[in-house]
Structure 1
Amino acid sequence: MLSLWDNLEDLLDSDCPENQAGTVIHHGEFDPKQDAQTLKEAMDGIGTKEDILIDILTHRDNAERQLIRKAYQDATGNDLVDDLQSETRGDFEDLVVALVRTPAEFDCHEVMDAIKGAGTKDSVLIEIFASRTNQEIKALNDVHLKEKEYLLIRDLRDELNGDIRKAMLLLVEGERDESADVNEQEAVQDAEAMYQAGEDKWGTDESTFIEILCKKSFPQIRRTLVKYKNISEKSLQKSIESEMSGELEELMVAIVKCVKSRPAYFAERLHDSMEGSGTCEATVCRIMVSRSEIDLKNIKAEYKKLYKRSLLSDIEKDLSGHVGDCLKAICGPDDD
């Protein structure tokens, strides 16, 4: 993996937006009322027909699922989310509910679950806020305000502290520069500032890294990474890993990886979630659902490039039952 993240030769070619390449696409020819009725029948009576839930929910895009959800509400008076939570259990429940929620609802509930109860699941917050666009973050915030009647930033202030809180509070505002313009001189200045704040001094001025990595545009940071390597002869990621620790290090590295390649970042996250003893189903489900209509094909391609085997083959090996079947349907066939 280090060779991937240290290689900057092709980095500037990625200044253009990443291709939209989802595995779940618009179905087109479907009847939301009929789908709603079929889902209701699959959950009525003794036992739930999980294969029917999987077939419908993985073969409609999210906009179509929202039409089904409305038709279900109109026909039954119940929210489809509530009935799925009543009729399914465990990881499968989480997965089908994730498919029925809007992307903003799903992200918001993942964040709320991460800061609920004893201890905060910082890795979930880091993954979401390092990888989402301003529009996605603002939509997440809107859902939180609607459901909780106060701003998400209040909970983050209460749950986090120190430099990780400072960085997260910047990211949750959803005000990152998203222009495509790149300023060469600014890239040199930012690279020099981070070098002087880290490697070139005793102790590390984390605020300099936070200000640049949490506010500048991805194309601008890409150019800065190249300038940093020229100054330091070490990649910015390696400098961060040697100069920082804990959650702040994890967040700063996650941002740098997303700047270089969101698909490669998510491919690595999926691999690490299935590697070794035990699989983190929650992480696999979150990434597969959240990227299914954005760039999951690109993630699959990066996965095969990095690990010399397909994402589908690892899902088949590590996840079984209805959860495995649902994830395989979202993943789609191997692309040769």
Structure 2
Amino acid sequence: MNPPNQQYYGQYPPAGGPPPSQPGQTHPGYQQPPQGAPYYPPGGSPAPGQLPYQQPPHSNYTPQSQHQTSQHQYPPQQYAGGPPQAPGHYPPAQPGQYQPPPGQYQNQPGQYQNQPGQYQNQSYPPQQPSQPPQGQYGHPPTQYGQYPPNVYPAGNANPQAPVSYPTQQYGAPPGAQIAPQWGQQQQQMQGYGYGVPPTPTSPGYDPAQRAFCAPVNTSADVEDLRKAMKGMGCDETALIRILTSPKYDNPWAMAQLVGDYNKRFIRDLAKDVESETRGDFETALLALIRGPLENDVRNLIQALDRAGTDEDALMDVLLCRSNADIRAISAEYRRIKGHDLLIDIKDDVDDTLFRLYSMVLAATRAEDAAPVNAADIDHKVTELQRATEGVIGSNAIAVAQIFTSCNAAQLHALTEAYMRKYHRSLEEVIEKEFRGDMEDALLYMLESALDRARTDARRLEKPLYRTPRKDRLFINRAVSLYWDRNRLDAAKAAYQRHSQSRASLRVAIKAMLSGDYEDLMVALIREKR
């Protein structure tokens, strides 16, 4: 194909006249236009918006034959407005602004093709590509921040109208819908908690919560606390009345009371309580005035420092907690103890249980708002069966990884799906395949997901009726529920509904405890003495 007007390059035959018979021959009457003057095709001036074509000097052009068009050499030309930006591109004509260095521009096949709206003429209309131009990796060449050109969804006849482009997989052709595999991965990511709001920290675990707690007037209570512990003896009734007052239901209100007492008397309320009280009554008061976060950390320190690890305390503090709470507990432990919590756990538990707690402390549990994905649940059910009943010797690490990555709703769905698929209870499978602390930890996570209120009731009843009674465990569980009124009310209702005697928790406490300790625990479950 010849370039546009190549047959008459440098010669201007009159309209309707025959072309010259020999190369380089001019028509009689033809006047040479000045060099650099704009060239207009036959028919008059250019169309609106069309740029004039710069005509090269005709005297230097000597074509050899009609079949060697691609090998023609063109002399340097004058371009106004700057050098050529790309092969076949001519900038706007503004005479006298730019003179390129000497050189030759070789014409390649298809190089000087007309673009829409540029250098059009009547003899050679612009060629429209049959497909959108392809760039690297199959994507159309685009500018940064723009959508691909010439790609319009089916039915959109107006290219100027705003278009919403579908999400495309990397390397897919323009307009291709997202791959099914990637859609499944997005659903799985949502199932693990990505893209959903994080579960907020529990009350008392984030200092930013203090801004939302209205200050209370503690002046009278501070004086009464000091009077109750001053001099000979201690007024335990006054301590119970003040510290369990509804004014201090919020952990940050309790922290204000403690801080005001310490500032008013230049003393430490916790040390005064330790010096004036004894036994389980002292333990319960300290657990209350420390607040939920510090009390959790103190329980962990005591559970790991004593001879023989208290696995019950570890489970109470670390399992079935939100990611935000786990991060707060880890940071507070590091602040108080000076090193990471996982280091102390590794020195006190076996390797399997250490692997479980390392997954918990990684804080990668699905957030509470994460949805239940049916395909993901079915896949995990299959993995659980392969890790337990489907293999000789259960794979505790695989089971722990699944349990610690699911929120309560997902674990509940996992239990139901396992029963439908294998006609066996997942709880029975755990009891059959595991023993000891690993069994207790997995069952606690599973039972809490199925019925949290009933699990809380059982965990209050078990240390209360155990022989010997584990008062510290009962105190910590009761105090943790004290800071969550809704959870405490649900646990009390479940206790009365599922206990063997059908008695309330208050009746059980009064039957098993006595003295000031009894009165304090009744007040902590928000019942009248």
Q: Find 2:425's aligned residue among 226, 235, 260.
A: 235
Match in the other structure for 2:263: 74
**1:166 aligns to what SS in structure 2?**
helix
CA distance in 1, matches of 2:349, 2:421: 34
Which aligned segments of 4 or more residues in structure 1 are displaced greater than 3 angstroms? 27-30
* Residue identity opposite 1:247 in structure 2: D
Match in the other structure for 1:41: 227
CA distance in 2, matches of 1:186, 1:103: 35
Q: Find 2:280's aligned residue among 79, 83, 91.
A: 91
Q: What does 1:196-235 align with in structure 2 at a 5 Å threshold? A: 196-235=386-425
* Residue identity opposite 2:527 in structure 1: P
Q: What does 1:277-288 align with in structure 2 at a 5 Å threshold? A: 277-288=467-478
Q: Find 1:306's aligned residue among 454, 476, 498.
A: 498
Q: What does 1:168-183 align with in structure 2 at a 5 Å threshold? A: 168-178=357-367, 179-183=369-373
Residues 131 and 262 of structure 1 are in contact (CA less than 8 Å); yes or no, is this contact kept in structure 2? no
Residues 81 and 100 of structure 1 are in contact (CA less than 8 Å); yes or no, is this contact kept in structure 2? yes
Residues 108 and 144 of structure 1 are in contact (CA less than 8 Å); yes or no, is this contact kept in structure 2? yes
Deviates more, 1:320-329 or 1:198-207: 198-207
Please state how far the C-alpha of 1:252 moved relative to its aligned partner.
Answer: 0.5
Residues 316 and 477 of structure 2 are in contact (CA less than 8 Å); yes or no, is this contact kept in structure 1? no
* Residue identity opposite 1:284 in structure 2: F
Among the aligned pairs, what percent are the same residue? 26
Match in the other structure for 1:126: 315
Once the two structures are superposed, residues 162-212 of structure 1 have per-residue CA deviations (whole angstroms, 9 ceiling, x without a partner) of 211100111123331114311101101101110111112221111111110
Q: TM-score, normalised by structure 2?
A: 0.56
* Residue identity opposite 2:494 in structure 1: E
Please state how far the C-alpha of 1:124 moved relative to its aligned partner.
Answer: 1.2
Residues 29 and 321 of structure 1, relative CA distance in 2, 3 Å threshold: farther
Q: What does 1:91-170 align with in structure 2 at a 5 Å threshold? A: 91-170=280-359
Please state how far the C-alpha of 1:277 moved relative to its aligned partner.
Answer: 3.7
1:268 aligns with 2:458: yes
**1:131 aligns to what SS in structure 2?**
coil
Please state how far the C-alpha of 1:274 moved relative to its aligned partner.
Answer: 1.9
The structure with the largest alpha-carbon Rg is 2
Please state how far the C-alpha of 1:30 moved relative to its aligned partner.
Answer: 5.3
**2:429 aligns to what SS in structure 1?**
helix
CA distance in 2, matches of 1:331, 1:129: 22
* Residue identity opposite 2:393 in structure 1: G
Q: Find 2:526's aligned residue among 325, 332, 336.
A: 332
Match in the other structure for 1:291: 481
CA distance in 2, matches of 1:309, 1:38: 36
Please state how far the C-alpha of 1:247 moved relative to its aligned partner.
Answer: 0.6
Residues 127 and 254 of structure 1 are in contact (CA less than 8 Å); yes or no, is this contact kept in structure 2? no
Q: TM-score, normalised by structure 1?
A: 0.88
Structure 2: segments with no counterpart, 5+ residues: 1-198, 203-212
* Residue identity opposite 1:99 in structure 2: L
Residues 130 and 258 of structure 1 are in contact (CA less than 8 Å); yes or no, is this contact kept in structure 2? no
Match in the other structure for 1:7: none
Match in the other structure for 2:510: 316
Once the two structures are superposed, residues 31-50 of structure 1 have per-residue CA deviations (whole angstroms, 9 ceiling, x without a partner) of 21221121111111011111
**1:157 aligns to what SS in structure 2?**
helix
Q: What does 1:186-201 align with in structure 2 at a 5 Å threshold? A: 186-201=376-391
CA distance in 2, matches of 1:196, 1:203: 10
Residues 228 and 235 of structure 2 are in contact (CA less than 8 Å); yes or no, is this contact kept in structure 1? yes
| Aligned length, in residue pairs | 311
CA distance in 2, matches of 1:277, 1:139: 34
Q: What does 1:241-256 align with in structure 2 at a 5 Å threshold? A: 241-256=431-446
Please state how far the C-alpha of 1:28 moved relative to its aligned partner.
Answer: 8.0
Residues 129 and 171 of structure 1 are in contact (CA less than 8 Å); yes or no, is this contact kept in structure 2? yes
Deviates more, 1:218-227 or 1:314-323: 218-227
CA distance in 2, matches of 1:117, 1:185: 45
**2:418 aligns to what SS in structure 1?**
helix
Once the two structures are superposed, residues 147-167 of structure 1 have per-residue CA deviations (whole angstroms, 9 ceiling, x without a partner) of 112111111122122211100
Match in the other structure for 2:179: none
Deviates more, 1:33-42 or 1:128-137: 128-137
Aligned-residue RMSD, C-alpha: 2.0
Match in the other structure for 1:56: 242
Structure 1: segments with no counterpart, 5+ residues: 1-16, 21-26
